Structure 1
Amino acid sequence: MIPRLLAACLAVSLTSATAAAVQPPREIKNVVMIVADDLKASVLGCYGDKVCATPNLDRLARNGMVFRRAYCQGTWCLPSRISFMFGRYRDKQNVSLGQHLQTHGLSSTRVGKIFHMRVPGDIIAGTDGQDHPACWSARFNSPGPEAHTPGEYACLNLNIVTRDLQNRQSTRMPHRMFVSVKGDADGTEQPDYKSASKAIELLKQSPERPFFLAVGLVRPHYPMVAPGKYFEPYGIERIEMPANWHDDTDDIPKLGIAKTNNRKNAIGNYPENQKRMWAAYYASVTFMDHQVGRILDALEDSPHRDQTAVIFTSDHGYHLGEHGFWQKSNLHEEVIRVPLLIDAPGMPSGQSDSLAELVDLYPTICDLVGVPVAAAAEGTSLMPVLADSTAGVKSEALSFQNGTSIRTDRWHMMRYDDDSEELYDMHNDPGETTNLANRSQYAEVLQRLRERLRERTDHFTERKTQR
């Protein structure tokens, strides 16, 4: 009898082999890809949040395919964006997506942050950050005032609230991660508004060739800035902290504990300010959602709609107190799970539990517009899932930070660089509150996952040796 894990891998191989055969029923010439920054999947209405208002992303979800289990490969901005834009798990050994599309007749335009930009530094300065110019036939930055936006400023871990424009935590300052601003103006001065406006301008044009338009929005990345009206629906009385918001680290190895946590940061001293962090995150998400809506409306009003696929995702998720953790650069579910919505004309709408990775975006976009996938791309096209929400293209998702995470349908294992481990039963413990790695009854599960992880990481090791 074929072992179950091997059988699953064979099934994935067979499904992947059929990916190129799946074609959308109508011709798709263009792709609009919208990338949010630091956006966790669980905060969106279409992913089950009952508080945060995201009507435009919910609209996109109704019209397209919702990937409920999509995972990033890098757990902070730089490695994640390199991964999905080069179609590689851990390096850039490929032609970038935009450059590849250009060689096959498409234009490739960047608006805002797609490759890594320092937020707030590059946003305030209006600079390119660590961009890859060859990826683009045109590119546009969207500067903004960030924490220096006039309005009510809060640095929540220091318990400071002021309207003074002086002495605000900003670029490279140690407490900038806990800053929010309830802006006095209408938001037109903000980078995401400017990015949406530029995207709208481009969609109104009559392009000479098919286009790939990548729009990078910087919210809800800190500083969490939005016009004051976006904060109004999110009083702290509406905020419920995650069930595992208390210190939940006794069974987590040292390398699995986030650097920013309630034990080491003063935010742990202010329970109400922790709720205000959620409120500010919600406000900036809703503001970002409004900009997505403006782009979607412009596309609907354009002559390109029936030939344009829309993709929405984020570079990685975010901790807002789960386990007592804050921010990113961590292998737990709230960081590695990302929203992924794809609306492809002629393809059915629905929701899928198929495992997906951001590295899959490169071959999926190529397949959508009928461009051959670059040989060095490592992802798997999601076209079979777009055609049938019950289809699957892979048996696990990998993420990397101080080690490697392997996420399967049921299990989530992290194996760190010092060989320490975490194991969670995601069907029965989705909040990852009980580490099963040291429990003898799970030894067989753990061993199977180790073997599979070794197969995948040996591939990376061999590749590095060959170079």
Structure 2
Amino acid sequence: MLNLGRHPTVVLLSLTMALFLQCRVDAAEVGRPNVLMIVVDDLNDWVEPLGGHPQVKTPAMAALAKRGVTFTNAHCQSPLCNSSRTSMMISQRPSTTGIYGLAPWFRGMAEHQETISLPQHFFNAGYETYTAGKVYHNSMGRNPPQGVAPEFTHWGPGGGPGITPPKKLVPPTPAGNNPWVDWGVFDHPEEEKGDWIVADWAEKTIADMPKDGTPFFMACGFFLPHVPCHTTQKWWDMYPEDTLVMPPRKDNERADCSPFSWYLHWNLPEPRVSWLEHYDQHKNLVRSYLACISFVDSQIGRVLTALETSPMADNTIVVLWSDHGWHLGEKEMTGKTTLWERSTRVPLIFAGPGIDHGVCGQPVELLDIYPTLSDLAGLKTPASVEGISIVPQIKDTSTFRAWPAITDHNPGNTAIRDDRFRLIHYADGSEELYDLRSDPAEFENLISTEKFADVATRLRTHVRTDMAGLAKGSGQRILEKRADGWYWENNKIDPTNPPMSTGSTAIKSLPR
């Protein structure tokens, strides 16, 4: 027999689980709806329901949108994986938690060990909770700290890129030639891709779901189109090079942007446009990204079909979202970590019982998902939640929403997006203003235009003056002001030598 007195860890975990279970209610008795949450990594607005790219083919997402409400003006709260997903899953802003980078994991912070996350909220309401793939950043959540309640009760495969080629398909990339910063076509079995494995698990889990009436909360995280954007010929051929539509660009398009904007992505594994042009990789990247979007859409379609052919189809809320967008040459760069539309605008679709087809253009935020699902399930939302339920907009897509969408990226840097304009306020006090209605590519900075001074003043009222500083343990993609200047990932920034940017001499020395 196990002597618990000699195993304090077991005692602690047992007590934690006991306390966790105390709050549970019998959700089956009250007929709660199930929830299927689909999360896609690094997916910008290049999906059919948003029309971000005229050639993209995403039939599964298009079908979901036709039976639900699509929010065409939804934005992340951080343009980076860990901070965005943390913000959404606990419905708190980075400017509240201080989590702006790829670290820390919020459960490692003393003040968040008892914060009720979205899946925990549903578990407390009597739901069985399931997950597979990338929902939290990387493997976070699978091994909670001692004494911390689990994020989910059932764990599937971890997902990720899965099979990769023996060596990179593209030339060496900046900042250490990261092996994941790769794209292109190579022959491989799709069954070995991480997203295929996650979809497989979801199909089987839905088919084997207990029929005792206990509702489920399932979160499926898909990796693509995150780099490496590897694809097979089938998806590659959907986007022929000779007719490929490239992202809108213009010469010197950052000429009227704040020079401080470079500080937000000073040195990244993802290359600048100058690198793409040097190696003739721009079309290759765009084509690979589109192909991966279509592939991941097919895996989403498998999961949705499994649900639609199950007995739970009529009593399951579906929500689909992405953690942030991704640049493919716009503003002279690739990747995320900017406060422009390409980096913050994301798909957000709700479907399910009581939700009619509709399209809503009001500004909404990813941290609104938590209170919205809570409302749709008839649950009482925890007081710690900062998001605002968008059930009124789901019920009537014309319902006005006064609160804008706000995105933070490192302390002092904020984007404010309403139904027409975007204000970007940088930590050095510089600003940008764009009219998305007349300038969807954000080519013209209007901050010095007197005609729009009142707009800037109005949006500026939403810029926090009490933004949290960097949380203890912050790391990766971190910008910090110190007494002697600005530091990117603990390296002092030299503004006269931006790495791999337009005008950089470093790009000229690279081999072809």
- Shorter-chain TM-score tier: 0.7 to 0.9
Matched, 1:228 2:228: no
Matched, 1:361 2:369: yes
Matched, 1:142 2:146: no
Instruction: Give the paired residue count.
Output: 413
Paired with 1:415 and 1:247, the residues of 2 have a C-alpha distance of 21
- Pair 1:432–1:106, CA change in 2 (3 A): same
- Pair 1:57–1:374, CA change in 2 (3 A): same
Alignment of 1:90-239 (within 5 A): 90=94, 91=97, 93=112, 94-117=115-138, 128=142, 134-143=150-159, 146=162, 148-149=164-165, 154-155=169-170, 173-176=176-179, 178-207=181-210, 208=212, 209-239=214-244
CA positional deviation for 1:53 = 1.1
Alignment of 1:251-400 (within 5 A): 251-257=256-262, 258-259=265-266, 266-270=275-279, 272-400=280-408
- Which letter maps to 1:406? I
Greater CA radius of gyration, 1 or 2? 2
Name the counterpart of 2:92. 88
Kept in 1: contact 2:362–2:418 (CA 8 A): no
Residues 20-51 of structure 1: CA distance to partner in whole angstroms, max 9, x if unpaired?
A: xxxxxx9651110000000001x111212321
Matched, 1:64 2:68: yes
CA positional deviation for 1:274 = 0.4
Paired with 2:163 and 2:363, the residues of 1 have a C-alpha distance of 37
- Pair 1:461–1:296, CA change in 2 (3 A): closer
Name the counterpart of 1:4. none
Equivalent residue of 2:49, what SS? helix
Kept in 1: contact 2:161–2:224 (CA 8 A): no
Kept in 2: contact 1:154–1:179 (CA 8 A): yes
- Pair 1:45–1:310, CA change in 2 (3 A): same
- Pair 1:135–1:246, CA change in 2 (3 A): farther
Kept in 2: contact 1:112–1:141 (CA 8 A): yes
- Which letter maps to 1:31? V
CA positional deviation for 1:266 = 1.8
Kept in 1: contact 2:272–2:333 (CA 8 A): no
Residues 176-195 of structure 1: CA distance to partner in whole angstroms, max 9, x if unpaired?
A: 46412424233000000000
Kept in 1: contact 2:327–2:336 (CA 8 A): yes
Name the counterpart of 2:255. 250
Question: Which stretch has the larger CA shift, 108-117 or 226-235?
Answer: 226-235
One of 26, 46, 50 as aligned partner of 1:47: 50
One of 26, 30, 36 as aligned partner of 2:34: 30
Paired with 1:245 and 1:134, the residues of 2 have a C-alpha distance of 49
Paired with 1:37 and 1:378, the residues of 2 have a C-alpha distance of 23
CA positional deviation for 1:153 = 5.4
Kept in 2: contact 1:35–1:312 (CA 8 A): yes
Equivalent residue of 1:312, what SS? strand
Name the counterpart of 1:406. 416
Kept in 1: contact 2:273–2:282 (CA 8 A): no
Equivalent residue of 2:447, what SS? coil
- Which letter maps to 1:374? P
- Pair 1:264–1:425, CA change in 2 (3 A): closer
Residues 84-126 of structure 1: CA distance to partner in whole angstroms, max 9, x if unpaired?
A: 00011122653111111111111111111101018xxx9xxxx
Equivalent residue of 1:424, what SS? strand
Paired with 1:383 and 1:394, the residues of 2 have a C-alpha distance of 15
Paired with 1:112 and 1:370, the residues of 2 have a C-alpha distance of 27
Structure 2 gap segments, 5+ residues each: 1-29, 98-105, 107-111, 472-512
Kept in 1: contact 2:134–2:159 (CA 8 A): no
- Which letter maps to 1:420? S
Paired with 2:156 and 2:222, the residues of 1 have a C-alpha distance of 12
Question: Which stretch has the larger CA shift, 72-81 or 344-353?
Answer: 344-353
- Which letter maps to 1:97? L
- Which letter maps to 2:356? P
- Pair 1:221–1:27, CA change in 2 (3 A): same
Equivalent residue of 2:169, what SS? strand
Equivalent residue of 2:38, what SS? strand
- Which letter maps to 2:227? Y
- Pair 1:317–1:130, CA change in 2 (3 A): farther
Kept in 2: contact 1:178–1:277 (CA 8 A): no
Name the counterpart of 2:78. 74
- Pair 1:186–1:146, CA change in 2 (3 A): closer
Equivalent residue of 1:83, what SS? helix
Could you say which structure has the higher helix fraction?
1
Question: Which stretch has the larger CA shift, 426-435 or 240-249?
Answer: 240-249
Paired with 1:84 and 1:134, the residues of 2 have a C-alpha distance of 17
Kept in 2: contact 1:72–1:80 (CA 8 A): yes
Kept in 2: contact 1:356–1:394 (CA 8 A): no
TM-score (norm 2): 0.75
One of 445, 449, 457 as aligned partner of 2:459: 449
Equivalent residue of 2:223, what SS? strand
Paired with 1:248 and 1:27, the residues of 2 have a C-alpha distance of 54
- Which letter maps to 1:211? F
Name the counterpart of 1:13. none
- Pair 1:329–1:263, CA change in 2 (3 A): closer
CA positional deviation for 1:145 = 6.1
Equivalent residue of 1:241, what SS? coil
Equivalent residue of 1:377, what SS? coil
- Pair 1:344–1:394, CA change in 2 (3 A): farther
